[in-house]
Structure 1
Amino acid sequence: MPKYAADMPPPDCNMPLHAWLRTWLTRLLKTLGLLALGIALLWAGLAIWALQRGPTPAQQQALAALRNPAATPASLAQASPQDGFVALWLLARDVPAEQQHAVAWQDVEHFASYRGDAWPAPSERFAELTPQEHAIWCRVWDEQPCLQRVRADLPHFQAQIQAHQALLQRIAALADYGYVSQPFVWRMDTPLPSYQHLFYPATQYAVQFWSGQPEQAMHGLCRHTDTVQRLLQGPHSTLIAQMVAAAQLRQSAALLADMLYHAPQVQAPSNCLQAFAAQPDHAQSLCDIARNEYQFSLGALRHPLPSWARDAFLEGSGLESGPQHSRIRRWQRILIALLPAWGHERTLRRLSAPRYAWVCTPEAQQALSQADFAQLHALGAAHAQAIAWQAACALAPRACLWNTGEPIFAAQPSYPQRLHDREATRRAIASLLWLRMQPAPAPAADASALQAWQALFAQRPAELHLPGSTPKITTLPDGTWALHVPLHDSARATALQLPFAPPAR
């Protein structure tokens, strides 16, 4: 006699086949219905319990740390005169001054209602001001220093500067603003301002330097540097904005050091002291970034992923290398891409907050200020949020998957390292400016002039020292001197070499 599965009764010989199948399907559907009802009741119970329980003390502390003191305007009427959002957003578009605010806010409102890929900004109807020969302009990581490039073909660069005065004047006008807000809706595809245009003035000031105006060139460069650092740092700043600010500071530092080297008789303008002044609270930048990345993550969870992000998640591209690059992590990303963009708002916030707030703790701030990146990583690992069957996951499953694993910056040490390198660069230039204001040191017996300057450099003010940074004046292979500044983020360079020559008296 044949054996049948437990849930399939043997057919009665007198029962027609279609009647037997109907009986079996009825039992199967009843079983599946009871199973679905049980799952629904379990989900409802977990959801009700999570709602009644509310955030844990750790989540409450994280939410408090991530409250951003910076107000974001919700409409054109709320925009502050100190807010440079409109000027930066339309930097590369030839929009008449009297239309700029209306056009920028038209973009903001249009993006909020747009669904799809390749968002067509209404402002794109205006002409583009970006130089067509943008590749010849000085960039941060060029092998040839900016001053050398410009000097080698000065007439051509002078023509380029003259042809793009409209753009350069718009960039200079950014100095009138105090900060830049982010009024766009937070989503995975939230657009970015024209950050790349902030690197063009370096070429302009190099041209001005070789055109017989070295002091004016230094003044303009330092004013631009101060503007960029002010606008791209602070409570409104995102990770990308802070990284742009770090790159721009490095570009300006190298260019200013070159200018001082080639014009030892010129006294650096006073505004350079302000642009490169030490920032004792530089570690706060990490918390500012975390607050805005937290808002970005909430936006990504509230809205469906754009197709390019969804495809990347499904394909597994973009996963970090290392032990976290596992089959489990791949399946987490696939589920994030497939699950609907739904979640209880308060639950989204409390589940996401611990992953970002840990960098705002005094311990993390201290580790960054001391350049103790091993301790910073250990702190991040200790704050890793495991989904571990939290009842709140019933109300926001994508949030649980999104925030699993090592928290922000714990798996990407290069970002905190770049922030520290930025402060080290800032204080290195401040030290060079301080050296130029000191009387020339007299070498001690049996000591060289280099050793005398090295001894004077060691006596620089305490505020110019930075834990974890060990700059020193060295001799290069060609016999010239340079201030050697080791970098923690060595992806592109292990050190910054700032040329140094004693000032002409």
Structure 2
Amino acid sequence: MKRFWKYLLWTLVILLLVIAVVLYIVPYYLKQREIQAAQEDLALLSIQSTPSPSLKNGIDALWLLEFSTKNDADRADLMKRFGSDLQSNNNQDILKQNQELQGRRLIVPEYDDKSLDCGTTAQECLAEVRADLPKSKAGVEKYAELLANVDRLADYDIFVSRDWPNDDYGIANKPLPKLQFVTYGRKPAALDWAEGREAEAWKRVCRNIKTGRSMLNNDPELIYAMIGNAVIRRNTDLAAQMLYEKPEWANRLPAECDGMFDVLTAEEQNICLAVQEEFRLSANSLRRWEFEQQRLWFLQKWYMNVNGFYELLTLMNGEIQYTDIMFSLLLRPNVDAEHTLAHISPYFAAYCKPEKMAILKNDTKAKWMPPEDMNQTFAKKWACMGNSVGCITYAITLPAYDSNVHRLQDTAMQQRAFQAALELYRLPAGKRRAALESVLAKHSSPSRRLRWNEEQKALDFEIYQQNASPLLLKLNLEN
């Protein structure tokens, strides 16, 4: 009987050692190996290129779109005094108590007010405006001060937070200004065109595009870049529709349009800086999450120590709680921020690899992110036993940025189509059709051809963005 208990004891010891090796030591070793292997990607993601101080930063104006302000100094003063209130999650409640800001607040559209929306395409937008000019005019006049602030954004070169980079923010709590206001500039431009103020319409369209391009310029905020891209695309579409109706404007575009229809460069299409910022925010969130888990772990240990005394008493009384003891031994924090960041770094670093610039220059449709099964090797799965929550969370929520790159590539292709249309409009109407093929070939990208759609009377091209509508660009070959 004694030998049996001795044998059983040694069996339990060996079993516990095996469990320790399988669940603790091997995962720890594999995690460290994965962290070391990711150092190159982590270094690439840690590079922060700060914008040049010579660039005029409009971040204060962006945050204060819904307020009456005098100049840059006034806006800087307001943000210095009330910026934290404006950027808080419950800013509406705080603002109601701030008499100075309330006195400066402008009339802005409520959530369900669509009076500054303007169709999906430029053709629909102009048709909507012309269908009820008095209504469109009333909407634009009602929000004239807000629209003036939106137009003023074109005076800036970048929109970068003053406190960037800031490690206080995580992926879920980064404050954002009311970016929907930035998209409202197309409606007043369409109204100007519909009412015959054609020069003013062109100036508005091109200033809108300038704002959009500035939101792409050295900006670490991915959402700013995507809003800027949408502004560029919508206003380029409106400009194309205006040329379709009045081709003579191709030869007398205002100075505001200089360079605004140039094709986005590979650098402008590159979202590396934004992805670096997304990774940094993820790192901040993970470290905070790990800290909270550690705090819970210490509380749990305290509970286990107190509860352990009770278990000892029950053990002495013959009530052996084997299940409770095993769970007490195995329970531990399952979020390892350092390993999670190493685990996901290849997905983020893919957008910053030097060789990726060639993809943008050649306008190639590429799958930027590594294969999803890259982290499904046996060794990496085993490493995740020591970081189950971190690995599982990002396996479910890992963002795919390919669609963002494809949006920018499609916008660059739209600009190629606009450049082709502009060149054709500068020819006599009788020569446009004969020059069509050569002009389209000249402005096509290395990977995509511009095509003439006879049925739609428009230029089109292959769309890279998944499930997106064609970006048709109307072209008048006859007048």
The TM-score normalised by the length of structure 2 is 0.71
**Structure 1 residue aligned with 2:458, among 482, 486, 494?**
482
CA change 1:384–1:292 in 2 (3 A) is farther
Per-residue CA distance 1:441-472 (angstroms, 9 max, x = gap): 64xxxxxx63x142342353xxx332333222
Aligned-residue offset at 1:419: 2.1
**Equivalent position SS for 2:247:** coil
Aligned-residue offset at 1:161: 1.8
Specify the code of the residue in structure 1 equivalent to 2:236: A
Aligned to 1:213: 197
Aligned to 1:359: 351
Aligned to 1:83: 57
Q: Give the alignment of 1:21-60 within 5 angstroms.
A: 55-57=35-37, 59-60=38-39
CA change 1:68–1:121 in 2 (3 A) is farther
Specify the code of the residue in structure 2 equivalent to 1:384: M
Per-residue CA distance 1:229-288 (angstroms, 9 max, x = gap): 2124434231x2232222222211211111112222323334434112123315752323
Q: Please give the alpha-carbon distance, in whole angstroms, between the structure 2 residues aligned to 1:486 and 1:72.
A: 34
Specify the code of the residue in structure 2 equivalent to 1:457: V
Aligned-residue offset at 1:202: 0.5
Aligned-residue offset at 1:174: 1.3
1:147 aligns with 2:126: yes
1:418 aligns with 2:407: yes
- Work out which structure has the larger RCO, using CA pairs closer than 8 Å and 6 or more positions apart in sequence: 2
CA change 1:278–1:341 in 2 (3 A) is farther
1:164 aligns with 2:178: no
More helix by share: 2
Aligned to 1:259: 242
Aligned-residue offset at 1:67: 3.0
Q: Is the 8 A contact 1:221 1:256 kept in 2?
A: yes
Q: Is the 8 A contact 1:179 1:231 kept in 2?
A: yes
Aligned-residue offset at 1:421: 0.8
**Equivalent position SS for 1:63:** helix
Which consecutive residues of structure 1, in runs of 5 or more, have no partner in the other structure? Answer: 1-5, 8-26, 74-78, 306-337, 443-448
**Equivalent position SS for 1:178:** coil
Q: Please give the alpha-carbon distance, in whole angstroms, between the structure 2 residues aligned to 1:165 and 1:154.
A: 16
Q: Is the 8 A contact 1:178 1:230 kept in 2?
A: yes
**Equivalent position SS for 1:221:** helix
**Equivalent position SS for 1:145:** helix
Aligned to 2:212: 228
Aligned to 2:273: 288
Aligned to 2:259: 274
1:101 aligns with 2:76: yes
CA change 1:339–1:363 in 2 (3 A) is farther
Q: Is the 8 A contact 2:334 2:386 kept in 1?
A: no
CA change 1:428–1:129 in 2 (3 A) is farther
CA change 1:155–1:173 in 2 (3 A) is same
Specify the code of the residue in structure 1 equivalent to 2:274: I
**Equivalent position SS for 1:256:** helix
1:67 aligns with 2:46: yes
Q: Give the alignment of 1:119-198 within 5 angstroms.
A: 122-123=94-95, 126=102, 127=105, 129-132=107-110, 134-139=113-118, 141=120, 145-182=124-161, 183=164, 185-198=169-182
Aligned to 1:458: 440
Q: Is the 8 A contact 1:454 1:472 kept in 2?
A: no
Q: Is the 8 A contact 1:483 1:498 kept in 2?
A: yes
**Structure 2 residue aligned with 1:381, among 350, 371, 396?**
371
Q: Please give the alpha-carbon distance, in whole angstroms, between the structure 1 residues aligned to 2:360 and 2:372.
A: 16
Count of aligned residue pairs for this structure pair: 417
The TM-score normalised by the length of structure 1 is 0.68
CA change 1:294–1:111 in 2 (3 A) is farther
Q: Is the 8 A contact 1:180 1:236 kept in 2?
A: no
CA change 1:55–1:303 in 2 (3 A) is closer
Aligned-residue offset at 1:65: 2.0
CA change 1:398–1:299 in 2 (3 A) is farther
1:470 aligns with 2:449: yes
**Equivalent position SS for 1:275:** coil
Specify the code of the residue in structure 1 equivalent to 2:471: L
Q: Please give the alpha-carbon distance, in whole angstroms, between the structure 1 residues aligned to 2:340 and 2:205.
A: 44
Q: Is the 8 A contact 2:26 2:383 kept in 1?
A: yes
Aligned-residue offset at 1:186: 2.8
Specify the code of the residue in structure 1 equivalent to 2:472: Q
Q: Is the 8 A contact 1:257 1:498 kept in 2?
A: yes
**Equivalent position SS for 2:453:** strand
Aligned-residue offset at 1:62: 0.9
Aligned-residue offset at 1:400: 3.3
Per-residue CA distance 1:126-160 (angstroms, 9 max, x = gap): 44642247413334625962111112212222222
Aligned to 1:401: 392
Q: Please give the alpha-carbon distance, in whole angstroms, between the structure 2 residues aligned to 1:199 and 1:432.
A: 25
Aligned-residue offset at 1:162: 1.8
Q: Please give the alpha-carbon distance, in whole angstroms, between the structure 1 residues aligned to 2:373 and 2:398.
A: 7
Aligned-residue offset at 1:100: 3.8
Specify the code of the residue in structure 2 equivalent to 1:56: Q
Aligned-residue offset at 1:485: 3.4
CA change 1:472–1:228 in 2 (3 A) is same
Deviation larger for 99-108 or 148-157? 99-108
Aligned-residue offset at 1:121: 7.2
Specify the code of the residue in structure 2 equivalent to 1:500: L
Specify the code of the residue in structure 1 equivalent to 2:287: R
- Percent identity, aligned pairs only, is 23
Aligned-residue offset at 1:357: 0.1
Aligned to 1:299: 284
Q: Is the 8 A contact 1:386 1:405 kept in 2?
A: no
Aligned-residue offset at 1:440: 5.0
Specify the code of the residue in structure 1 equivalent to 2:406: Q
Aligned-residue offset at 1:37: 10
Aligned to 2:419: 430
Q: Please give the alpha-carbon distance, in whole angstroms, between the structure 1 residues aligned to 2:157 and 2:359.
A: 29
**Equivalent position SS for 2:203:** helix
Q: Please give the alpha-carbon distance, in whole angstroms, between the structure 2 residues aligned to 1:434 and 1:386.
A: 52
Aligned-residue offset at 1:348: 5.4
Deviation larger for 432-441 or 260-269? 432-441
Aligned-residue offset at 1:367: 3.9
Q: Please give the alpha-carbon distance, in whole angstroms, between the structure 2 residues aligned to 1:53 and 1:138.
A: 53
CA change 1:496–1:64 in 2 (3 A) is same
Aligned-residue offset at 1:498: 1.6
Q: Is the 8 A contact 1:482 1:498 kept in 2?
A: yes
Aligned-residue offset at 1:106: 6.1
Q: Please give the alpha-carbon distance, in whole angstroms, between the structure 1 residues aligned to 2:377 and 2:51.
A: 32
Aligned-residue offset at 1:203: 0.6
